[in-house]
Amino acid sequence: MTQALVIGGGPAGLMAAEALLGAGVPVLLAEAKPTVARKFLMAGKSGLNLTRIEPFEDFLAAYGDSAECLRPMLAALPPDALRVWAEALGQETFTGSTGRLFPRAMKASPLLRAWLARLDAAGLDRRTRWRWQGWAGAECLFDTPDGPDRLSPTVTVMALGGASWARLGSDGGWTAHFAATGLPTVPFASSNAAIAVHWSPHMTPHFGTPIKGVAWQAGTIVSRGEAVISAKGIEGGGVYPLSPALRAGAALTLDLAPDLSQADIASRLARPRGKQSLSNHLRRALGLSPVARALLAEFARPLPHDPGDLARIVKALPIAHSGLRPMDEAISTTGGVPWAALDENLMLRDRPGTFVAGEMIDWDAPTGGYLLNACMATGLWAGRHAANWR
């Protein structure tokens, strides 16, 4: 009989395995893909953002409606503790100007290699190309390279991911097996996703251009981050935090001059412009970039000449869009196992001895380190409590 089974080899599953091994419990880790942590490695290609160093209550608030549910897990692995964990694996870290914590190497691969070496040395039994196929009573069913297999673990931690980036392993297929046994799930939806926009031809020259020094707003959420114009719409860290409000149907507006009041803008635009075109006047009076002026022409044509009317548009340019891009393009998803189906230890109430962690839980978080920190924190929490339950 397998002592402890961890299903899913992403950061949450690996952290659960580390907690179980640290408690002296032998662990078999089953991963459906040929290698583990594929999405983790992809995220690290542009610089692995581990977490964000800031006061804990500010950090916690980023998780919105799930903040209080996640509080004990994040308190057990807060940002400073995650930094210490990474450096114990020989990965020097640094904190950027916005508080984001990165490995000095700016890659995920050195950290993952060191982590796997430590887990393997502790006795982790890794099985790849093992795809979970549901339950038969107390047994976990798998398709493996050697054919069907069954395991009867004393305790299980599931870290099967959400439903984005299916080619890397997170396809949400596990929900069918939950439904077959009557376990509840919440439908998946895009999070940290690009916004779909159908551009007119005049925007084509601006594809790939960053939009800087602006403020995006949807509902009550305001983001000062940078985004990029793409052929499919608008993407980047500036718009990803707006996902919850956009999913709820909130309108999207863009403040092209967030450091100026509407009155200041109107005053500057009221200055004589002589023979200048309106576009040049906006450039000289407000310092608007070519892409900012193009967006004004895209969404507010014809532009009003009255300084007061134009100032209102500059401060709250309505962006017509078609919602969030599809889930498989999103960085993460919301949906999965509802909090009500779990006890305080992340064990399924209707299946004692089975714990869940990571993105398969129905919670939402912006990028910028919050997502990864919570995945690892829930993995650690589930692993520790799985060891105690056993």
Of 318, 348, 365, the last residue of a domain is: 318
List residues bridging with 51 in a β-sheet: 101
Residue 1 has what pLDDT? 64
Pairing of strands 233-235, 252-255: unpaired
> What pLDDT is stored for residue 45 in this prediction?
79
Of residues 366 and 118, which shows the higher confidence score? 118
342 and 385 housed in the same domain? yes
In a domain, 323, yes or no: no
- pLDDT tens string 138-175: 999 999 999 999 999 999 999 999 999 899 999 999 99
In whole numbers, what is the pLDDT of the chain averaged over residues?
96
Whether residues 353 and 282 fall in one domain: no
For the chain, the 3-state helix, strand and coil shares in percent, each to the nearest 5, are 40, 20, 40
Structural domain total, the chain: 2
| C-alpha–C-alpha distance, residues 137 and 111, integer Å | 38
Residue 79 lies in a domain: yes
Residue 2: predicted pLDDT: 76
Residue 114 resides in a domain: yes
For residue 136, give Cα distances in angstroms to 9, 133, 139, 175.
22, 9, 5, 16
Work out whether the CA dihedral 176, 177, 178, 181 comes out positive or negative.
positive
Look at strands 4-7 and 27-31 and give their pairing. Answer: parallel
Is there a single domain that holds both residue 49 and residue 170?
Answer: yes
Query: Does residue 35 sit within a domain?
Result: yes
Cβ–Cβ under 8 Å, residues 194 and 329: yes
CA 366 to CA 191: how far, in whole Å?
Answer: 8
Q: Which of 329, 49, 30, 57 is nearest to 167 (CA)?
A: 329
Residues 11 and 145 in one domain: yes
Which of 318, 339, 373 lies at the terminal end of a domain, its last residue? 318
Task: State both tokens at 298.
Answer: 């895209």
Domain residue limits at 353: 4-190+331-389
- Which CATH number fits the domain that encloses residue 377? 3.50.50.60
Q: Is residue 225 in a domain?
A: yes
Q: Are residues 47 and 97 in the same domain?
A: yes
Phi-psi region of 169 (alpha: psi -120 to 50; beta: other; left: phi over 0): left
In a shared domain, residues 171 and 281: no
250 plus 379 within the same structural domain: no
Find the mean pLDDT for residues 25-44.
Answer: 95
What is the identity of the amino acid at 364? Answer: D
Same domain, 54 and 170: yes
Cβ contact 141:134 at 8 Å: yes
pLDDT(46) > 90: no
Residues 234 and 378 in one domain: no
Supply 208's token pair: 């790939």
63 and 167 belong to one structural domain: yes
Whose CA is closest to 129, among 29, 279, 22, 19?
29
Contact present, 36 and 116 (Cβ < 8 Å): yes
Query: Is 43 within the bounds of a domain?
Result: yes
Same domain, 248 and 303: yes
pLDDT tops 80 at residue 253: yes
The closest of 289, 321, 291, 296 to 311, measured between CA atoms, is 296
pLDDT one-digit tens code per residue, 121-144: 999 999 999 999 999 999 999 999
In a domain, 214, yes or no: yes
Residues 169 and 210 in one domain: no
In a domain, 325, yes or no: no
